[in-house]
Amino acid sequence: MNQLDIADYVVFFIYFIAIAGYGYYIYHKKKTTSSSAKDFFLAEGSLTWWAIGASLIASNISAEHFIGMSGSGFALGLAIATYEWMAAATLIIVAIFIIPVYLKNKIFTMPQFLSKRYSDQVSTIMAVFWLLVYVFVNLTSIIYLGALAISSISPISFEWSIVGLSIFSMVVTLGGMKVIGYTDVIQVLVLIFGGLITTYLALSLLSTEYGFGGDIFNGLSVLRKEAPGHFHMIFDSSHKYYKELPGLSVLIGGMLINNLAYWGCNQYIVQRALGADLNTARKGILFAAFLKLLVPVIAVLPGIVMYVLHSKGLFQAEMSDAGVLKPDHAYPTLMNLLPAGLKGIAFAALTAAIVASLAGKANSISTIFSMDIYKKYFNNSASDKKMVNVGRWAVVASMVVAAIVTPALRSLDQAYQFIQEYVGFISPGVLAIFLLGFYWKRTTTAAAMTGALITIPLSTVLKFLPVWTNGAFPDYPFLDRMAIDFVVIVILMAVISLSRPQKIADENAIEVDTSMFKVSTSFAIGSVLIMGILTALYTVFW
């Protein structure tokens, strides 16, 4: 039933007051610096390692995981967890090899790096690309999935859900990165606790349906027995969903490119660590990697449970829309089964995930627009106070635009895959430009400009050429297309750089030395532990 009881409203109200109250406290704790642009956008020096790690996860986990990833778990199975588990390994790489470069060179935004290393033109092109993707893919998809879930488990309509989420997120974002970072700690606790409750209920329900009296461990056994095909991490070329997760490409190909671009070259993710010292940033990123290992438990397992129950004949109407099976309905259907009070906790967890992620993306939109568009091209003498105000207006504008566009996504079946594919149109070019800019001093501005301009057209051609040629050109899985894009762009950039050498001015040079990559003993131990867990998981579920 699409309703909340009094107990659910009480739980949600407590959550809302806790977030609003704590955010207000953090905002006023250092009120004297609240007008500083770096304090507003980066919370410079204010975030602890646990706040950085929690904020990374809160910004990353959203409705696309609870709703979208559960939907993909329903359709594809545990294999979709590779996005989370491989992200844990990628975070370690980012902490060792990428974050030190940013901090050593005092980089605060991704376009700033491009401007310093290459030129303002390259920086502006990529800034515009990022803003378009953040608004029209990231914000819209998160609002859509959140509104879908909220309207499915409460009396609030889809349209009013969009309005409510947008306003709530704006309120959190307008306090700046410091407020976002510390409120994200509460958001993460709520979303993990609420997510685990929903997973527990799902396994208990499954166990009961198969006569084991609600024992969740028996529920896990039932899952493995009834849906063995949903517990393979690597698909072969004959698999129905090979195009979504193409074999070993989920380990060493397009998935690695996707993750490195997302976690290492993405403003709204990297931004959490850019205001800290290297040791604090690395601890925070490692903490985030550990939390990443938990995400499939709260996001993927419920979807597989719903697949088994649906296969048994349950929830046929709830999982369909106008007679068409909708995997993304799996998680909302499950949430509707929660008892009063617990449903409120799950509702709060879902809202926490949505709001935290929207706030993180909106803050990065305001950061890029203010620092890399407004100050550079409209008012290069803008004061800190002016920059903060412009950033706040950018938050409002981006949220309004995204809310208006959101209803157009209602035709999607698996929104999670939609997000991954279309964000992947710029990821190969972004990663190529950044990695060559970091580690190959001969990379030229002309090469970077070419990489920036070609990444979307090349991705588009590879996607639609099979249609345009009536199948004469291979229809590659989108992760493989990302790998092809990346290799082509790197080769092209290398050829251009070698054929037309450019002397890099001292002020444009990026400082990199091997001492930056040394890690502490505790970081090394934590990294080995994470890699050991991942090796065990892929060995068991290969």
Q: How does DSSP assign 212-248, residue by residue?
A: STT-HHHHHHHHHHH-GGGG-SS--TTSTTTTTS-TT
Q: Do residues 89 and 350 make contact, with C-beta atoms less than 8 angstroms apart?
A: no
At 307 the pLDDT is 85
At 282 the pLDDT is 92
Portion of the chain with pLDDT greater than 70, in percent: 86
DSSP assignment, residue 2? -
Name which of 69-73, 324-328, 458-462, 498-502 the model is least confident about.
Answer: 324-328
Q: Which residues lie below 8 Å from residue 513, measured CB to CB, with a gap of 6+? A: none
At 496 the pLDDT is 94
Is residue 75's pLDDT more than 50?
yes
At 32 the pLDDT is 43
Please write the tens of the pLDDT for every residue from 158-176: 888 888 888 877 776 665 5
Is residue 512's pLDDT more than 90?
no
Is residue 314's pLDDT more than 60?
yes
**CA pair distance 405, 399, nearest whole angstrom:** 10
Q: Tokens 């303002």 correspond to what residue? A: 120
Cα-flanking dihedrals φ and ψ of residue 323, to 5°? 85, 0
Q: Do residues 116 and 504 make contact, with C-beta atoms less than 8 angstroms apart?
A: no
Higher-confidence residue: 78 or 375? 78
Joined together, the tokens standing for residue 176 give 């700046």
Question: Amino acid identity, residue 410?
Answer: R
Residue 33's pLDDT band (boundaries 50, 70, 90)?
A: very low
Q: Left, alpha or beta for 325 (phi > 0: left; psi -120 to 50: alpha)?
A: beta
Residue 89's pLDDT band (boundaries 50, 70, 90)?
A: very high
At 525 the pLDDT is 94
**CA pair distance 63, 141, nearest whole angstrom:** 8
Is residue 354's pLDDT more than 90?
no
Is residue 485's pLDDT more than 70?
yes
Residues paired with residue 320 on neighbouring β-strands, in sequence order = 325
What domains lie within the chain, and their CATH numbers? 6-415 (1.20.1730.10)
Residues paired with residue 325 on neighbouring β-strands, in sequence order = 320
Please write the tens of the pLDDT for every residue from 412-445: 555 556 666 777 788 888 899 999 988 888 889 8
Dihedral, CA of residue 263, residue 265, residue 269 and residue 272, to nearest 10: 110
Chain-wide mean pLDDT for the chain? 80
CA 144 to chain centre: 15
Buried b (16+ CB within 10 A) or exposed e, 505-518: eeeeebebeeeeee
Does the model's pTM come out above 0.85? no
Joined together, the tokens standing for residue 484 give 């092809």
Residue range 254-279: average pLDDT?
82
Element (H, E) at 318: none
